Chain A
Amino acid sequence: MPDAIRRVFARQKWMAIAVATIVLAGILTAVSPVFLTLSNLQSILVQSSVTAIMAIGMTFIILTAGIDISVGAILFFTSALFAQLMIDTESYLIAFSAAMTCATGLGALNGVLVVKFRISPLITTLATYSIYRGAAIHLTGAQNIPVPREMGFLGNGKIFSIPVPILILIAVFVIGVYAFTRTRFGVYTRAIGNSARSATESNLPVNRVTIAVYAASGFVTGIAALILLARVGGLQSGIGIGIEFTVIAAVILGGTKLTGGSGTVTGSVIGAVFLVLIDNGLNLMNASPYIYDIVRGSVLLAAVAVDRISAVRQQKAVEAARAARIQGAAIPG
């Protein structure tokens, strides 16, 4: 690989997943004539919108070296609250503002627990996952609740012939990239993931930023919940189950390191699209539905392995360069 290209790959950590996505799209184009149609591409983006939006929030959490397992439960709780309030009050305003406040609040609660009690985010959010989901089922009495027909606009409507979920995804994406690159919040987030100790010594508001990333993730999960509710047409008990896997996988595939500090919003969105492409391809191949999970898991494993191998190779290149220097400086006697 020429140096210039390698540098682009090193700087733009999402390049790898972008190339993988293009290659996969190329294969699917060759295999199926319907793949490269506007409607199929639109449908792929619509299908990835929910996980992509959540992955944008998750990126910030993972950048701080945290994780939120409970996003699926927040998604479910928010959907349940919204659907229930629509039945009870018939007011979009109340239902909408309550749902968004609640989604943000549940995310923030995760952040507060992580910060105040210094419990590992994995355990904290594993616990709140169970609590949030249980609370939602308690709230709705485990019933399926339909949402009003006009909600469908959010999931299936179009503005200037572009599906609404895609527009929302673009908006969240732009805000996410801006926050990541241009704001203090963004740079603090990356800094904390690099080294919490250094962040404290540099006088950064570590606790506030940590709570804020979980709250922000909760907020975008709320948005995702409303889109999903609109697309499905009502609350179902299966909503959000297992979605945390897809969301976290998208972030990791996108090149964000679980150890924190390094990653991009762009990569996460492409990662989410990539995962839908895989489903799409399997669908075109008429694969058994049981295969899907196996393939998704294998892809994630392969991505992490490739990342490790390239890191090791880079290390070897550095060592080889040093060896060359030493041989060059060989001294007689």
Chain B
Amino acid sequence: MMMNRAADTIAATDAKPVLSVRNLSKAFAGKTVVDDVSFDIHPGEVIGLVGENGAGKSTTKNMLCGLLQPSNGEILVEGEVVPHIDGPAHGISAVHQELSLFGSLTVAENMCISDLPGKPARVDWREADRIAREQLEFLGIEIDTQATIESLGSGRQQVVEIAKALLHADRVLILDEPTTSLTAVEREKLFAIIDTLKARGVAIIFISHFMEEIYRVCDKFIVLRDGKQVGGGYLSDVPQRQLEEMMVGRTIEDSKIDLHPPGEVEALRVQGLSAIDFDGIDFTVHKGEILGISGLMGAGRTEIAEAIFGLRAATGDVFVKGEKVSPITVKAMKARGVCYVPEDRRTNGLFLNRPVRENLSAAAILNFVTRSLRGIGFRGEKARASDVVRERDISVPSIENHVSDLSGGNQQKVLLGRWLSMAPEILIFDEPTKGVDIGAKFDIHATIAELARAGRAVVIVSSDLPELLHTTHRLLVMRKGHIVGEFQREAYDSVKIISLAASAGNGSNGNA
């Protein structure tokens, strides 16, 4: 029964749009978040909704699936004005960025929970299981419908979420950053599913940060900036650079940064580093050099970075400026000018409910304050913190604002500012631009290049390959806890690197 409505309409190609949005606006407490957005989407079409963080994408999404009521404008389903969107009734469903799944419930329970078969007082679990099974089969995925969600990996959870949404979305499916937790293989599988749905006449709104993905799956695009619709049309007409410029509202310089040639002096050397997640890791970073570590999720990248900084137990040796560090502890590393900017800034790096000032001074409070009495007093902290905010171009009303008030990009700048105020000599970044908007991303890349030029050694761990290609001198490729390849900047070849990181065979000849 699920695809009938859509299948009927596909016969009459581009007859009328399945969903139309006219002058849609939303204001919260007088602040307009979405301003005058209009577009049409036809059956079988994929529209990319792009924009920086805070551009109004999520608010638009929430209005389209009925979680928010528009302040102004109207939404038409099949040409008829709908005053109040009811997702399931209108065949519109969204896959939100944070999964809306229930960990201790089974796959079948999760998929059917919004519309359980049987009576309220007697749920037909057999029927629910059948519906779930059929849906997963339709998508070509094998998952045990009686397994609990928490027993599945994040990629499979994402697939269950999509399957769940599709049960109620035979007209329009909204995907909000669906690939962030997927591996390359799972991502391809998702794209194949999108192609299947397209062929069946489902209209899809695809929200993503990754331009490559937008170009891979979408036909059309809409660009939002500060809540306003600043562009739209067919992707085939618009090159990626132009699209990115529309998003940030200014011209982006060539994203391939000019790197200063690296020095010859050894800064950090890792020898035979091994632990549960990785084995026999050897590499050297020189002063002024930026080294990238790439690999798929679970390849052991983050674990290595943590082990070097002393956050994780490992065997093997780490040398800083030629001198062996033993034992490897955070304190010893900090004392030698090594700093580590972790991946998940919200849980591992920042104190969200504390002011920006304290977040900046946290790692090196004694560099921030002058004390006339030993151990007492915070004189100078405010002035130094304000300096850092200026230097790092952090947009925040006051240094007393809580970090939780800031956007992702500015949060990352605060974290960066904290470590840079320690005047470190070796910096290890884990996913330095994850979840930040394009503008902040370029600022951070520029800062990293600047650091290298000033003679610091930098290690970047990232799953964003284009980022590594743009910002590093040298790249290590990891797979399942081993370094399987090394590339110099002149020889960067993204296809080769990806296949090396993802291949299942024993690719022992990755050196280029």
Contact = CB atoms under 8 A, between A and B. Distances in A.
Given A202-B114, A203-B88, A326-B300, A319 B480 contact: no
A118 interface: no
Nearest to B508: A333
Contacts of A262: 104
Contacts of B87: 203
Contacts of A184: 116, 120-121, 123
A201 interface: yes
A318 to B, nearest CB: 10
A116 interface: no
A322 B509 CA distance: 25
A194 B99 CA distance: 12
Contacts of A330: 279, 482
B87 to A, nearest CB: 7
B105 A332 contact: no
Interface stretch (A20-28, A45-53, A145-153, A185-193): A185-193
B124 to A, nearest CB: 9
Contacts of B279: 326-327, 330
B508 A332 contact: yes
B481 A326 contact: yes
B48 to A, nearest CB: 23
Interface string A251-273: 00000000001100000000000
- Provide the main secondary structure of the chain B interface: loop
Contacts of B121: 182-184
B113 interface: yes
A195 interface: yes
Contacts of B276: 319-320, 322-323, 326
B186 interface: no
B297 to A, nearest CB: 13
Contacts of A182: 121-123, 125
Interface in A275-333: 319-320, 322-323, 325-327, 329-333
A187 B480 contact: no
B122 A198 contact: no
A109 B121 CA distance: 24
Contacts of A261: 102-105
Interface string B61-86: 00000010000000000000000000
B120 A201 contact: no
A286 B120 CA distance: 51
Given A187-B123, A262-B104, A332-B508, A197 B277 contact: no
A279 to B, nearest CB: 32
Nearest to B507: A331
Interface in B258-291: 276-279
A204 B116 contact: no
Nearest to A316: B276
B109 interface: yes
A322 B480 CA distance: 10
B88 A187 contact: no
B506 interface: yes
Interface in A194-215: 194-195, 197-199, 201-204
B65 to A, nearest CB: 9
Contacts of B109: 187, 191
Contacts of B490: none
Contacts of B482: 329-331
Interface in A154-207: 182-185, 187-188, 190-191, 194-195, 197-199, 201-204
Contact of B102 (A183, A185, A198, A322): A198
Contact of B277 (A194, A195, A201, A326): A326
Given A198-B102, A203-B87, A261-B104, A187 B113 contact: yes
A326 B102 contact: no
Contact of B100 (A188, A202, A325, A329): A202
A261 B96 CA distance: 21
A182 B121 CA distance: 7
A327 B103 CA distance: 30
Interface in A231-266: 261-262
Among the interface residues A262, A331, A333, which one has the most CB atoms of the partner chain B within 10 A?
A331
B136 interface: no
Contact of B122 (A183, A201, A319): A183
Given A202-B113, A319-B276, A185 B100 contact: no
Given A185-B120, A326-B278, A333 B509 contact: yes
A9 to B, nearest CB: 14
Contacts of B123: 182-184, 187
Given A201-B67, A327-B279, A195 B480 contact: no
B98 interface: yes
A326 B280 CA distance: 12
Contacts of B480: 325-326, 329, 331
A183 B278 CA distance: 47
Interface in B467-490: 479-482, 484
Contacts of B116: 184, 187
Interface in A27-69: none
A204 B277 contact: no
A329 B503 CA distance: 12
A245 to B, nearest CB: 26
Contacts of B101: 195, 198
A187 B120 contact: no
Given A191-B105, A333-B509, A204 B278 contact: no
Nearest to A13: B104
A197 B103 CA distance: 13
Contacts of B122: 182-183
A187 B111 CA distance: 12
B283 to A, nearest CB: 14
Nearest to A198: B100
B114 A331 contact: no
Contact of B484 (A190, A195, A331): A331
A263 to B, nearest CB: 9
Contacts of A202: 100, 113-114
Contacts of B125: 182
Interface string B432-466: 00000000000000000000000000000000000
Interface string A91-133: 0000000000000000000000000000000000000000000
B103 A195 contact: yes
Interface string B205-218: 00000000000000
A239 B110 CA distance: 42
Given A188-B113, A191-B105, A194-B103, 10 more contacts: A183-B123, A191-B102, A191-B109, A194-B104, A194-B105, A202-B113, A204-B114, A319-B276, A333-B508, A333-B509
Interface of A: 182-185, 187-188, 190-191, 194-195, 197-199, 201-204, 261-262, 319-320, 322-323, 325-327, 329-333
Interface of B: 67, 87-88, 96, 98-105, 109, 113-114, 116, 120-123, 125, 276-279, 300, 479-482, 484, 506-509
Nearest 4 CB-CB pairs, A to B?
A194-B102, A198-B100, A333-B508, A201-B100
10 contacts: A184-B116, A191-B105, A198-B99, A198-B102, A261-B105, A322-B277, A326-B300, A331-B482, A331-B484, A332-B506
